[in-house]
Amino acid sequence: MPIAVYILGLSVFSLGTSEFMLSGLLQPIARDMDVSIPQAGLLVSAFAVGMVVGAPLLAAATLRLPRRTTLLALLAVFGLGQVAGALAPGYSVLFASRVVSALACAGFWAVGAAVAVSLVPEDARARAMAVMVGGLSIANIAGVPAGALLGQHAGWRAAFWAVAGLSAVGLVGVATLVPRTEVPTGDDRPRLRNELRIYRDAQVWLALAVTALNGAAVFCLFSYLSPLLTDVAGLAESWVPTVLALFGVGALIGTTIGGRIADRHLFGTMYGGIVASTVVLTVMAIAAHSAAVVIVASVLLGITAFTTAPALNARMFQVAGAAPTLAGATTTSAFNIGNTVGPWLGGLVIGAGLGYPAVAWTSVGMAALAVAALVAASRLHRLRTGTASVIVAGSEDAGRLRSETVDVPMAGTPMTRPAGEPQV
């Protein structure tokens, strides 16, 4: 695996720490900003909304810009967003800083994913994405619990300063170790209207639905895991960083498993991970008052949720390989549609007075919908008898788009690069 892919994973570590550390900081932020827990939880949704909007917009806006330059600019904006959050005098400024940081984070994910898959053979795409997702997993192991500890002992603002420092480290790594690239200027140069043609394929929309529903199921509960542990399971607040770290350990295990098997068993990995997550969430809903069960289930949820992540990423690149930048942006948006809807629905449940166990049941319902969407995607895939007509970005002749069709293999077989795919 090229060193540049690992540098991208390192950068994702700082992005992921910022995205998810609020799950361990809700209570101190709510106290300091004089807002309710559901209002503090909206900061998680604010970041996710920024990711949803930012991924496609920034992918489109930077389509013809040098990739490394784009990554550096986005990391710089992200770091400044963390500084603004650390200095925020009130809730509204903190909310705005989360949106700005998320826009930069989304753009980095979209462009970074396209860079990562371009640096490896087609049959190693899931492994490359597993390295990037692995940065997210390690963020959950180290970054998120460390943020919770800082929030408890040095104030939640210290966590934002720490992430700003991590983003600076990532900036140096990208500047020195990610290859410099030139934007194609000939017939193979990327064209936005050509890449947008991928959205005519129902498989792209089904892949988006599966990813979004799976993310919503996991992060509906995860966003409120801290108060579930303390208010329902009866654990002391000092236990929260430990349980978050255990979730991160599970996430790293899951990412490793998914990265190893997804290239060969794409649909099997998605089915196994999402169904297993549904079972784990059901157990958490039933036994929410048992501290031991919730702790063990948190680890298992990390494993099951992140086992699917490389497969979900690889599936989008499989069905939208003709538009690698928008494929990465679409996956990023899909994950964060789930990250937006999940915490929002969880907040509605809490606000209605139904309690934190009801949040777990809400997660179960969304996981079941993810399974249903996956069934539909699998059936459509089989109906196409192993090959599909895929729109491929190509050259124009007298103002007319040249389209090609390529064979898309059944899940689990190596892919070949689609003709005309823009190079990084």
According to the model, what pLDDT value does residue 401 have? 34
Q: Which residue numbers in the chain have pLDDT < 50?
A: 385, 387-424
According to the model, what pLDDT value does residue 370 have? 92
According to the model, what pLDDT value does residue 409 have? 38
Cβ contacts of residue 362 below 8 Å, gap of 6+?
Answer: 220, 221, 345, 346, 349
According to the model, what pLDDT value does residue 278 have? 93
According to the model, what pLDDT value does residue 186 have? 53
**Separation of first and last alpha carbons in the chain:** 16
- Among candidate residues 226, 208, 271, the one with its CA nearest the CA of residue 37: 226
According to the model, what pLDDT value does residue 62 have? 72
According to the model, what pLDDT value does residue 252 have? 82
Domains of the chain, each with CATH number or no CATH: 3-401 (1.20.1250.20)
